[in-house]
Copies of this chain bind each other. A is one copy, B any other.
Amino acid sequence: MGSAKVHREIHTPEGHRLRVPARRVALDDGSHFDLYDTSGPYTDERADIDVHQGLPATRRDWALPPAGGAHTQLAHARAGTVTPEMRFVAEREGLEPEFVREEVALGRAVIPVNRNHPESEPTAIGKNFLVKVNANIGNSAVTSSVPEEVEKMVWATRWGADTVMDLSTGKRIHETRERILRNSPVPIGTVPIYQALEKVDGDPTRLTWELYRETVIEQAEQGVDYMTVHAGVLLRYVPLTARRVTGIVSRGGSIMAAWCLAHHRESFLYTRFEELCEIFREYDITFSLGDGLRPGSIADANDEAQFAELRTLGELTHVARSHDVQVMVEGPGHVPMDKIPENVRLEEELCGEAPFYTLGPLTTDVAPGYDHITSAIGAAQIGWHGTAMLCYVTPKEHLGLPDRDDVKTGVITYKLAAHAADVAKGHPRAQAWDDELSRARFEFRWRDQFHLSLDPETAQAYHDQTLPAEPAKTAHFCSMCGPKFCSMRISHDVRRYAEENGLETAEAIEHGMAAKSAEFADGGNRVHLPLAD
């Protein structure tokens, strides 16, 4: 609403033409303001979309010759090569391409781009970039269909989801994922153990490395950009969860714990981790090392089980990097505010600053139905402290499966939390957006205010509930004070007064106030007041 898709073109030394998207908001005075845009061709009115054919495979011909035998972004970055993907994200975030390369080379940022998902627009995930938001979708044994899930993916990216995880566990998992990948402008993540479990009829004890490997390759071939792997659930950590208030709440974590206990062996995810790295390297799939022992209640936050697993994830991060494979590390869960900073500090220390990808965290357990908010409170803070990507939580968390409205509410809630984090951590471009909107608010440019909003439709709808008429969109007052008195109007008069009298800084006031006072006493009240009109 009130905006249009634009592309900024850049040319690479290799001769590629990259079209970097943005959402351009047209303002009343003829100027415009560009916003980061994740929605792909779906919001481009010139685009011709056929869901059965999929999006154009734009990135198909961007591939560079391998660096040290590997095609991964990490291998290229380490070899000193700035890839087209790095240029793309640099332009997208207003950064230098060389800075992007350095962050990727250090492992402090990842750009998840499976070579078999050429439809996606590259996205950087790292603490020195804008905080990203992931939306989970996926059918389950009890509900939903393939077109519904594709529709949810498009819907989530429309509202700003930077990546989408397909967590399907029901029927037609392969087909659902295929349709999502071919139509997704954002990186897609999965948890391969979920599909593997379906293949053994839900009995975790029957899982094997061979079956898991086959599933990973199946998904890799389809183009999954990052995969959650719960390789840090070691046998000896499992009993550490026994006295917890809520035990093991991660689905992947409990599957692997069940396997470890049943076989009384370390899981194949851990013992075969280097073989997995070889597969990931082949496609440039990014690891998302899963926190299978994350706390499921604030009582269990920062406990022995959680941090023992985190240490193992740290070891595995270094193993993956030695194979030139990109790595993110997943984080909790349920954590009260006072225990949040410790999580970031430890993750950075143990995992070599690998991008931290956190679920929430939820800062209290008492508000089911509002856990998008209990978790946005934690998400904003952990994002400020250094988390690179936030996994959204919807109002249905703990209660049911999110519908279309829940997906939107979850994404918008997390986008505002991510933006609050960007502002707090001082991302160079973040606050300009707030200031642009606040100026529109102060100047009663209602339409500009709506169009600059994270959710223009809701902003306008709420306004119209109290003052529906079209003239109210240009009125120099609002429904809070009504037309008779308006604090904003008085502020405009203060500004004029100060300008006319040269009283705009503390120093000028010190010097000027006494003089003005005498003048006023002489000349009477000459301040222009709106209500004296």
List residues of A whose CB falls within 8 A of some B CB: 140-143, 169-170, 197, 202-205, 235-236, 238-251, 253-255, 257-258, 261-264, 296-299, 304, 336-338, 363-370, 372-374, 376-377, 380-381, 384, 395-396, 398-401, 403, 412-413, 415-417, 419-421, 423-426, 431, 433-435, 437-439, 441-442, 449-450, 452-455, 458-459, 461-463, 465-467, 478-485, 487-488, 490-495, 497-499, 501, 503-506, 508-509, 513, 516-517, 520-521, 525, 527, 529, 531-532
Chain B residue, CB-CB nearest to A406: B462
B490 touches A365 (CB 8 A): no
Chain B residue, CB-CB nearest to A205: B529
Provided the pairs A203-B531, A337-B380, A423-B363 are in contact, do residues A373 and B416 lie with their beta carbons within 8 angstroms?
A: yes
> Which B residues are in CB contact (< 8 Å) with A377?
376-377, 380-381, 417, 420
Chain B residue, CB-CB nearest to A513: B236
Q: How far is the CB of A353 from chain B (nearest CB, A)?
A: 20
> Which B residues are in CB contact (< 8 Å) with A449?
368
A423 touches B336 (CB 8 A): yes
| 7 pairs of residues in contact across A and B, judged by CB atoms under 8 Å | A239-B501, A246-B441, A262-B529, A297-B435, A364-B423, A368-B459, A399-B479
Q: How far is the CB of A447 from chain B (nearest CB, A)?
A: 13
> Which B residues are in CB contact (< 8 Å) with A484?
141, 202
Question: How many Å lie between the Cα of A478 and that of B140 in the bound state?
Answer: 11
Q: Add 15 more A-B contacts to A249-B487, A374-B416, A376-B376 (CB < 8 A).
A: A141-B483, A238-B494, A240-B509, A242-B498, A253-B487, A257-B494, A297-B442, A338-B424, A363-B423, A366-B433, A369-B461, A370-B458, A377-B420, A395-B462, A399-B463
Chain B residue, CB-CB nearest to A244: B491
Enumerate the 8 nearest inter-chain pairs by beta-carbon distance, A residue then B residue, closest first.
A247-B491, A400-B466, A242-B498, A141-B482, A297-B438, A254-B487, A239-B503, A337-B424
Residue from B236, B254, B498 within 8 A of A490 (CB atoms): B254
A492 touches B247 (CB 8 A): yes
Chain B residue, CB-CB nearest to A530: B258
A420 touches B337 (CB 8 A): yes
Interface centre among A254, A369, A374, A501 (most CB of B within 10 A): A369
> Which B residues are in CB contact (< 8 Å) with A296?
438, 442
B236 touches A367 (CB 8 A): no
Chain B residue, CB-CB nearest to A521: B264
> Which B residues are in CB contact (< 8 Å) with A481?
140-141, 169, 251
Q: How far is the CB of A422 from chain B (nearest CB, A)?
A: 9
Question: How many Å lie between the Cα of A204 and that of B399 in the bound state?
Answer: 52
A494 touches B247 (CB 8 A): yes
A442 touches B246 (CB 8 A): yes
Chain B residue, CB-CB nearest to A308: B506
> Which B residues are in CB contact (< 8 Å) with A337?
380-381, 384, 420-421, 423-424
Question: How many Å lie between the Cα of A463 and that of B431 in the bound state?
Answer: 38
Q: How far is the CB of A85 from chain B (nearest CB, A)?
A: 28
> Which B residues are in CB contact (< 8 Å) with A245?
435, 438-439, 442
> Which B residues are in CB contact (< 8 Å) with A516?
264
> Which B residues are in CB contact (< 8 Å) with A244?
491
